[in-house]
Amino acid sequence: MKYLKDKVTLVTGATRGLGKGIAIGLGEAGAIVYITGRSLDRSNAGDKISGSLRETQAAVEAAGGICIPVQVDHSNDEQVRLLFERIQDEQNGKLDLLVNNVYSGVQALKDANGKPFWDFEPNLWDACNQVGLRSHYVASIFAARMMTKHNSGLICTISSWGGMSYIFGAAYGAGKAGCDRLAADMAVELKKYNVASISVWPGIVGTEHISLMVSEIEQTNANNKQTSLMSDRYNWETPLLTGRVIAKLASEANIILRTGKVQIVAELAQQYGLVDQDGNLPVSLRSLRFVLPSVLPALRQYSSLIPDLKIPWSLLLISTLKSPKN
């Protein structure tokens, strides 16, 4: 069902990975999908696993959408401004959905993996958060100027469980917590214009970079308790699941009721009755069906017998947000 037909959407950072999956999910719903990235085609792709805007365009159109690729470096505010001017001119000022996804910190995080933050120069922060948290803020400014004029719209900022607990280090965690705060505070200011702002948390997503990292773990036999979840590909999500969830969010008539909140991809997929590209429905990372087998790997083969009960947010916050007075 093309429930986003004629809806104008923008996904930043969509040459590969999560952004590509989101764009395809919107295409399945019949949306007009603008996509951005630095590589228009394979000839100027950055590394061996980089995709291109043309490849994503083909996939979105094959799924049933209309796709418009725009080459943009999101560290350049002028290029971002011109992007939104183009959308405004081509779509008569209309923008229904912005997905803040672009992120350039993957390689830096990979290089820093397992080492403390002080072992690196301060520019690790910029690598993680300039094309990430800052670029989300910039894109949201231009999107909000369009959306508030029409008293409708949705801004989805892709964040992570790393905004609540340690995953990839201090620079990453601070950036993701910042994404959640950005989404929440934008929601306060946008609500009177009927524009919603939410933070979206995928689970463990099998992107090209994550898959490559797991392959390297397997080749070097560097597997340990911390990496076993990755190498076993336990409860992985495909990027398309996030795309399908966001497409459903964008179709909700009362999306403003969700504004300012964190939305969990796996939990929304369960509510909407969605599956990922492989026909699976991974569980939330706060589900006992994920948590118990994570602690006791021997339980993974019996995971279907474990109740899909969610750990309350109040307990998660108590365990992760320690009081400075302690």
User: What local confidence, expressed as pLDDT, does residue 167 receive?
Assistant: 85
Q: Are residues 256 and 310 in the same domain?
A: no
Average pLDDT over residues 182-200: 98
Contact 25, 246 (CB under 8 A): yes
Residue bearing the bigger pLDDT, 216 or 173? 173
How much of the chain is helix, strand and coil, in % rounded to 5? 55, 10, 35
Q: Considering the candidates 103, 166, 172, 272, report the single residue annotated as catalytic.
A: 172
Residue 129 inside a domain? The answer is yes
314-326 pLDDT, tens digit each: 888 776 655 444 4
Average pLDDT over residues 252-273: 97
Q: Are residues 279 and 291 in the same domain?
A: no
CA dist 34 and 56 (Å) reads 11
Which tokens go with 280?
A: 């699976």
Residue 1 inside a domain? The answer is no
Q: Are residues 53 and 198 in the same domain?
A: yes
Tokens 């017998």: give the residue: 305
Arithmetic mean of pLDDT over the chain: 89
Average pLDDT over residues 301-311: 92
Looking at residue 60, which CATH number applies to its domain?
Answer: 3.40.50.720
CA dist 1 and 15 (Å) reads 25
Q: Are residues 60 and 169 in the same domain?
A: yes
Q: Are residues 242 and 314 in the same domain?
A: no
Average pLDDT over residues 73-78: 97
Domain containing 316 equals 286-326
Residue 305 inside a domain? The answer is yes
Using DSSP's 3-state secondary structure scheme, residue 169 falls into coil
Q: Are residues 189 and 325 in the same domain?
A: no
| 197-220 core/surface letters (b: 16 or more CB in 10 A; e: else) | bbbbbbbbbbbbbbbebbeebeee
Residue 177 inside a domain? The answer is yes
Tokens 């394979």: give the residue: 42
Q: Which helix (H) or strand (E) holds 84?
A: helix 77-90
Does residue 131 register a pLDDT over 50? yes
Q: Which residues pair with 11 in a beta bridge?
A: 35, 99
pTM: 0.91
| Active-site residue flag, 193 | no
Q: Are residues 225 and 259 in the same domain?
A: yes
Q: Are residues 226 and 105 in the same domain?
A: yes
Q: Are residues 200 and 143 in the same domain?
A: yes
User: What local confidence, expressed as pLDDT, does residue 228 receive?
Assistant: 58
Does residue 185 register a pLDDT over 60? yes
The number of beta carbons lying within 10 Å of the beta carbon of residue 301 is: 9
Domain count for the chain: 2
